[in-house]
Structure 1
Amino acid sequence: MANGKSSLCVELDKSKCTNASTMFYTFQSTADEPSSRTSNEKRSLRACEDCKRRKVRCDGRQPCNRCDYRGSRAACVYVKPVRRPVVSKQTLEDLSKSLEERDSILARLFPNRDISDLVSLSDQELRDIVLNAGPSPNGTTLTFRSDHTPNESITQDSQWDEDRRERDPLPAEADDVNALSLPLDRQASYLGISSIRAALGAILQMRPQLRASLASRQESYNETSSLRDNGMQCTQMVQSPTENPCVKWSRKGQALVDVYFKRIHIMTPLLDETSFRTTYLSSNRHDSPWLALLNMVLAMGSIAASKSSDREHYKYYTNAMRHLDISAFGSSQIETLQALAIVGGHYLHYINRPNRGNAILGAAFRMASALGFHREPSDQDKEGDQLQVVELRRRIWWCLVCLDTLASMTLGRPSFGRFCPSIDIQPPKFSTGGHGQLDSEPDMDIMLLAENIRFCRIATEIQDKLTVTPFLKPSDRDRFDDMLISWFDSLPSLLGDDQECDELVHLGRCTMRWQYWNLRMLLCRPALLDAASKPGVYSQPADQDAIEKCQLLSKTAIEDIAQSWKNDQMSGWNAVWHLYQAVMIPLLSMVWQPQNPAVSEWKSQIEMVLGLFESMRDWSLTARCSKRVVSQIYETIPICCNAERLQLGSFDMERSSHMIRLSHSSQYRDSSFMERVKVLLINLKTAEAVKLPA
Structure 2
Amino acid sequence: MTTRTGLKRQRVAAACAKCRSLKARCDGVRPVCGRCSGYGYNCSWPENSSSRDFRQSTPTTSSWLRKDTIQYRRHVIQSFRELAATIQPVLTDVERTSVESSINCIENHISDSNIFTEPQGSPERDLNAGYDKLNAPLTRNASYTYVGKASDIHFFNAVKESLQEEIEFSDECATEKSPETDFAISNYNQHSPVSVAGPFDTQPAFPEPDVVIKYLDIYFSTIHIAYPFLSREYLESKYRALRGNSIVAEDCSSVAILYLIFAIGSYYLSYPRFGSSASQQHLIYFEKAMIFSAQVKSQCTLENVQMLLSECFFLLAICQTDRCWNTLGMAIRMGQSIGLHVENAPSSKPSSKVNPFEVEIRRRTWYSLFVLDRLLALQLGRPFAIQETDFAVPLPSRASSDWSVEDELSSQTAEPSVIDYFLRVIEFSKLLGKVIRELYVPTQEESSLGSMLASTSALDQELLAWKFDLPRHLRFDLGHTFEKDIRFKRQRNMLAIKFHNLRSMVHRPYLGLPWFQAKNTALMESIRGLEAMVEESERICVSEARATAHLLHSIEDEQALVHDFPWWQMISCLICASSILFVASTVVCKPQRRMDPDPSTYADDANTCIKVFEALSARSDAARHATKMMQSLTELRSLPENSNERRYSAASINQTLLGVDSTVAQPDVPFEGPPDWNLAMDLVALTHWSNEASDSVL
Q: 1:317 aligns with which of 286, 296, 299?
A: 286
Instruction: Show the counterpart of 1:158.
Output: none
Query: How do residues 49-64 of structure 1 correspond to structure 2 at under 5 angstroms?
Result: none
Name the Cα RMSD after superposition.
4.0
Q: Measured at CA, do residues 425 and 362 of structure 1 come closer, stay the same or move farther in structure 2, by a change above 3 Å?
A: farther
| Distance across 1 between alignment mates of 2:122 and 2:648 | 45
Q: 1:389 aligns with which of 330, 348, 358?
A: 358
The answer to whether structure 1 residue 586 and structure 2 residue 585 are counterparts is no
The answer to whether structure 1 residue 473 and structure 2 residue 442 are counterparts is no
Check conservation: 2:308, 2:331, Cα contact below 8 A: yes
> Higher Cα Rg: structure 1 or 2?
1
Q: 1:438 aligns with which of 396, 399, 415?
A: 415
Instruction: Show the counterpart of 1:672.
Output: none
Check conservation: 2:124, 2:195, Cα contact below 8 A: no
Instruction: Show the counterpart of 1:608.
Output: 608
Q: 2:332 aligns with which of 345, 348, 365?
A: 365
Deviation at 1:461, TM superposition (A): 1.8
Q: 1:555 aligns with which of 532, 546, 551?
A: 546
Query: How do residues 662-681 of structure 1 correspond to structure 2 at under 5 angstroms?
Result: none
Check conservation: 2:545, 2:580, Cα contact below 8 A: yes
Deviation at 1:418, TM superposition (A): 3.0
Question: In the TM superposition, what whole-angstrom CA distance separates every residue of 1:315-334 from its partner, at most 9, and x where no partner exists?
Answer: 11100111233x64431333
Check conservation: 1:173, 1:625, Cα contact below 8 A: no
Structure 2 residue identity aligned to 1:170: G
Query: How do residues 272-291 of structure 1 correspond to structure 2 at under 5 angstroms?
Result: 272-283=231-242, 284=245, 286=247, 287-291=251-255
Check conservation: 1:207, 1:640, Cα contact below 8 A: no
Deviation at 1:575, TM superposition (A): 4.2
Check conservation: 2:260, 2:286, Cα contact below 8 A: yes
Q: Measured at CA, do residues 631 and 492 of structure 1 come closer, stay the same or move farther in structure 2, by a change above 3 Å?
A: same
Deviation at 1:583, TM superposition (A): 0.7
Check conservation: 1:191, 1:197, Cα contact below 8 A: yes
Instruction: Show the counterpart of 1:305.
Output: 269
Instruction: Show the counterpart of 2:379.
Output: 410
Q: 1:332 aligns with which of 274, 278, 300?
A: 300
Instruction: Show the counterpart of 2:659.
Output: none
Structure 2 residue identity aligned to 1:273: R
Instruction: Show the counterpart of 1:196.
Output: 152
Query: How do residues 169-180 of structure 1 correspond to structure 2 at under 5 angstroms?
Result: 169-171=129-131
Secondary structure in 2 matching 1:268 = coil
| Distance across 1 between alignment mates of 2:204 and 2:611 | 46
Deviation at 1:614, TM superposition (A): 4.0
The answer to whether structure 1 residue 507 and structure 2 residue 498 are counterparts is no
Structure 1 residue identity aligned to 2:270: S
Deviation at 1:432, TM superposition (A): 6.3
Instruction: Show the counterpart of 2:161.
Output: 205
Structure 1 residue identity aligned to 2:342: R
Check conservation: 1:414, 1:464, Cα contact below 8 A: no
Instruction: Show the counterpart of 1:489.
Output: 468
| Distance across 1 between alignment mates of 2:122 and 2:316 | 15
Secondary structure in 1 matching 2:143 = coil
| Distance across 1 between alignment mates of 2:468 and 2:456 | 18
Deviation at 1:622, TM superposition (A): 3.7
The answer to whether structure 1 residue 518 and structure 2 residue 509 are counterparts is no
The answer to whether structure 1 residue 448 and structure 2 residue 448 are counterparts is no
Check conservation: 2:216, 2:261, Cα contact below 8 A: yes
Structure 2 residue identity aligned to 1:456: S
| Distance across 2 between alignment mates of 1:606 and 1:400 | 32
| Distance across 1 between alignment mates of 2:621 and 2:489 | 21
Deviation at 1:248, TM superposition (A): 4.6
Deviation at 1:257, TM superposition (A): 1.9
Instruction: Show the counterpart of 2:64.
Output: none
Check conservation: 1:586, 1:603, Cα contact below 8 A: yes
Q: Measured at CA, do residues 576 and 288 of structure 1 come closer, stay the same or move farther in structure 2, by a change above 3 Å?
A: same
Check conservation: 1:427, 1:450, Cα contact below 8 A: yes
Instruction: Show the counterpart of 1:102.
Output: none
Q: Identity of counterpart residues, as a percentage?
A: 18
Q: Measured at CA, do residues 621 and 307 of structure 1 come closer, stay the same or move farther in structure 2, by a change above 3 Å?
A: farther
Deviation at 1:507, TM superposition (A): 1.5
Deviation at 1:506, TM superposition (A): 1.5
Instruction: Show the counterpart of 1:60.
Output: none
Q: Measured at CA, do residues 164 and 642 of structure 1 come closer, stay the same or move farther in structure 2, by a change above 3 Å?
A: farther
Query: How do residues 256-271 of structure 1 correspond to structure 2 at under 5 angstroms?
Result: 256-271=215-230
Question: In the TM superposition, what whole-angstrom CA distance separates every residue of 1:413-471 from its partner, at most 9, and x where no partner exists?
Answer: 111343124433433442464875238xxx51x22211110110111122223214166
Query: How do residues 63-462 of structure 1 correspond to structure 2 at under 5 angstroms?
Result: 169-171=129-131, 185=141, 187-208=143-164, 215-216=178-179, 236=195, 238-241=197-200, 243-248=201-206, 250=208, 251-283=210-242, 284=245, 286=247, 287-307=251-271, 309=274, 310-325=279-294, 328-344=296-312, 346-377=313-344, 381=350, 386-430=355-399, 431=408, 433=410, 436-438=413-415, 443-444=417-418, 446-462=419-435
* Mean CA deviation greater in 355-364 or 468-477: 468-477
TM-score by length of 2: 0.60
Instruction: Show the counterpart of 1:645.
Output: 645
Instruction: Show the counterpart of 1:23.
Output: none
Deviation at 1:244, TM superposition (A): 2.4
Instruction: Show the counterpart of 1:223.
Output: none
Q: Measured at CA, do residues 214 and 186 of structure 1 come closer, stay the same or move farther in structure 2, by a change above 3 Å?
A: farther
Deviation at 1:607, TM superposition (A): 2.6
Q: Measured at CA, do residues 632 and 386 of structure 1 come closer, stay the same or move farther in structure 2, by a change above 3 Å?
A: same
Deviation at 1:249, TM superposition (A): 6.2
Deviation at 1:582, TM superposition (A): 0.5
Q: 1:535 aligns with which of 514, 518, 522?
A: 518
Unaligned runs of 5+ in 1: 1-89, 99-118, 121-161, 175-179, 220-228, 650-694
Structure 1 residue identity aligned to 2:444: T
Check conservation: 1:170, 1:351, Cα contact below 8 A: no
| Distance across 2 between alignment mates of 1:282 and 1:249 | 14
Unaligned runs of 5+ in 2: 9-22, 25-120, 169-173, 183-189, 400-407, 650-698
Deviation at 1:388, TM superposition (A): 0.7
* Mean CA deviation greater in 624-633 or 579-588: 624-633
Check conservation: 2:515, 2:647, Cα contact below 8 A: no
Check conservation: 2:497, 2:548, Cα contact below 8 A: yes
Secondary structure in 1 matching 2:464 = helix
Deviation at 1:626, TM superposition (A): 2.4
| Distance across 1 between alignment mates of 2:409 and 2:429 | 23
Secondary structure in 1 matching 2:144 = coil
Instruction: Show the counterpart of 1:498.
Output: 479
| Distance across 2 between alignment mates of 1:426 and 1:359 | 26
| Distance across 1 between alignment mates of 2:626 and 2:487 | 27
Question: In the TM superposition, what whole-angstrom CA distance separates every residue of 1:364-411 from its partner, at most 9, and x where no partner exists?
Answer: 001001111111138985557700110010111011111111122132
| Distance across 1 between alignment mates of 2:435 and 2:299 | 34
